C-alpha cells in the first residue's frame, strides 16, 4: 500500500472511525511490513497530540476579572495600553492627512518670460545640402529634418498642473463614459 493510504487509515483508527474488520486487516498488514508500521505509528502519535491540543484549547476558559464600576478608580485601573494604541492611530491618521493635503496643494505658478535662441536660417542651410544628396536613408533624412529651425516657431505654454480634486473629478468623468 502507499504511504498516504496507510497514514489515512492510521488517522481513522486513532479517531475510532474504522470498524473491527478493517482494524484487524490493518493490524495484520502492519505486522508484516515494518516500514508501514513506522508510518502508521508516527501518524497515530501526531493525531493524538493534535486531538489533545484541540481539547485543551477548546476547554472553557475562566472569565477575565470584571472591572468594578466604582468611581474611585486609580491610575492602575485605567487601560493605558488601549489609550496608547488609540493615540497612535490618531497621530498616524493626522500625519497621513497632512501629507495628502500637501500633495494635493495647487502649485504656485510663476509667470516668467522664456527666451529661446535659435539659429539663423542661413546657418541651418547645411541640412538642405544633405537632403539633396541621393542615396540617403529614411532615418538619416528624418534626423537632419529634426535639426531644422523654423523661423516663426514659438515655445508652447506650459500646462498647469491639476490639483488632487481636479484629477479625481476627471477620472470620475472618464468612469461615467465607460
Banded model confidence at residue 94, pLDDT cuts 50, 70, 90: very high
Pick from 28, 23, 5, 24: nearest CA to 13: 23
Pick from 36, 27, 49, 28: nearest CA to 6: 36
pTM over 0.75: no
**Per residue in 129-148, pLDDT tens?**
655 666 667 777 777 777 77
**Per residue in 97-123, pLDDT tens?**
888 887 776 666 667 777 777 665 554
pLDDT of residue 21: 92
Contact present, 103 and 166 (Cβ < 8 Å): no
Amino acid at each position: 500500500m502507499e504511504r498516504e493510504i496507510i497514514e489515512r487509515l492510521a488517522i481513522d483508527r486513532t479517531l475510532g472511525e474504522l470498524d473491527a474488520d478493517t482494524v484487524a486487516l490493518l493490524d495484520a498488514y502492519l505486522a508484516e511490513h515494518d516500514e508501514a508500521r513506522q508510518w502508521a505509528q508516527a501518524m497515530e502519535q501526531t493525531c493524538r497530540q493534535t486531538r489533545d491540543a484541540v481539547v485543551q484549547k477548546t476547554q472553557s476558559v475562566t472569565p477575565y476579572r470584571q472591572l468594578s464600576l466604582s468611581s474611585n478608580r486609580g491610575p492602575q485601573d485605567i487601560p493605558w495600553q488601549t489609550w496608547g494604541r488609540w493615540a497612535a492611530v490618531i497621530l498616524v491618521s493626522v500625519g497621513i492627512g497632512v501629507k495628502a493635503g500637501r500633495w494635493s496643494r495647487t502649485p504656485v505658478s510663476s509667470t516668467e518670460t522664456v527666451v529661446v535662441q535659435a539659429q539663423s536660417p542661413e546657418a541651418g542651410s547645411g541640412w538642405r545640402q544633405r537632403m539633396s544628396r541621393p542615396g540617403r536613408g529614411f532615418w538619416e533624412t528624418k534626423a537632419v529634418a529634426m535639426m531644422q529651425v523654423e523661423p516663426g516657431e514659438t515655445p508652447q505654454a506650459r500646462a498647469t498642473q491639476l490639483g488632487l480634486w481636479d484629477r479625481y473629478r476627471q477620472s470620475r468623468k472618464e468612469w461615467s463614459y465607460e
